[in-house]
Amino acid sequence: MPKDRNLFPAIFTLAVFIILEIASLRLVSSNGSLQRIWLARQGHFFQGKVWGGAQGIAQYFSLKKQNAALVEENHKLTVALGDRKAALAVAGADSLASLLGSQSSFRYIPASIVKISRNRQHNYLIIDKGSEDGIHLQDGIVTPAGIIGIVDAVDKHYSYAISFMNPEISISARLGSEGAVGPLTWDGVSTRGAVLKEIPLQYKFQKGDTVFTSGFSAIFPPDIPIGTTGDAKIVNGATNEIKVNLFQDFSTLKYVVVVENIGREEIMSLEAVAKGE
C-alpha cells in the first residue's frame, strides 16, 4: 500500500508536465512569428531526417540493381574502346599505304602494342598480331611518322620485335628527296634521337631537312618520313655525322603497322646467288 501511495504523485507530476508542455507549445505557436518559424524548422528537420533515412534504406536495397547496370555499362564501354583501337590501327595502315602510293610490293597489317620497353639499351616491343594474322620474321614495323622496329620472333597471336631504340638496328636513310644515303641508328639516349652517318662532305644540307627511308632494304619501303636534321660534325675529315630529330616519339607509341615486303624472299635469293652462297 505505501508503494501505491508513492507511485501516484509521480504519475500525477508527469501528467501535469506533459499538459503544461503541450499548452506552452500551443501558446508559443499562436503568439509569435519567430516562434512559429522555429517550430516549422524543427518540423522540417524532423521530416528531412525521416525522409533521408527512408531514402537511404531504399537506395541500399537498390544497390544490386545499380551494380548490374554498371557492369553492363562497363562492358559496353570496353567493347567501344576495343572498336576505337582497331579503327585507329586500321587508319594508320591506310594512311601509310596512301602516303607510299599503295605500293603493290608491300602489304600492311595494323597492330597494337601490348608491351614495350623504352629505358634500356636493348629495347623491344610485343604486338597483338602473329602468324595467324600473316606476320613473318623480319617484317618491318612502322608508323606514318617513322621506323619502329623489326619482327624477331612470331607466335600464333603475338610477335616480338627489336625496337629501333636498339644498337642492333641500322636503317638505310636518305637526306631529302634525292640526297645522300647513309645508315641511321638510335642515339642511345633519347626517345626521339637518332644519328645519320657516313654522309659525304660534298652533299649539302640544312638544319630542318627531312630524312626518309631510302628503300635500299628488303624490309622497309622507301619514302617514309623519319625526322629532321639537326647539328652535324665531321668524322675522320671525310664524312658528316648528323643528328636527327625523330618524328615518332617512342614514349607515346601505341599503334603500329607491320609492313611485309612481298618480294623479300626473291630479293634474298638473288643476293645469295650473287654472293655464291
Give the list of residues 6+ apart from residue 260 with CB closer than 8 angstroms, or none.
106, 107, 108, 109, 134, 135, 136, 139, 140
Residue 167, domain CATH: 2.40.10.340
Strands 181-186 and 193-200, bridge-based pairing: antiparallel
Residue at 42 is within a domain? no
Q: State the pLDDT at residue 121.
A: 86
Give the list of residues 6+ apart from residue 232 with CB closer than 8 angstroms, or none.
205, 240, 241, 242, 243
Residue at 40 is within a domain? no
What mean pLDDT, rounded, does the chain reach? 76
Do 107 and 135 meet the contact criterion of CB atoms below 8 Å apart?
no
Q: Is the pLDDT of residue 75 over 50?
A: no
Residue at 31 is within a domain? no
3-state SS class at 248: coil
3-state helix, strand, coil in the chain (%, to 5): 40, 30, 30
Number of structural domains in the chain: 1
Residue at 34 is within a domain? no
99 vs 254, higher pLDDT: 254
**Domain around 204:** 83-274
Residue at 223 is within a domain? yes
268 vs 154, higher pLDDT: 154
- The pLDDT tens digits for 21-42 are 665 656 555 555 555 555 555 5
- The pLDDT tens digits for 89-110 are 555 556 655 555 555 688 889 9
Do 154 and 180 meet the contact criterion of CB atoms below 8 Å apart?
no
Pick the closest to residue 184 from 173, 198, 168, 174 (CA basis): 173
Q: Is the pLDDT of residue 81 over 50?
A: no
Radius of gyration of the chain from its Cα atoms, rounded to whole angstroms: 39
Residue at 41 is within a domain? no
* pTM summary value: 0.63
Give the list of residues 6+ apart from residue 165 with CB closer than 8 angstroms, or none.
118, 123, 186, 191, 250
Residue at 22 is within a domain? no
Residue at 70 is within a domain? no
Amino acid code (one letter) for 208: G
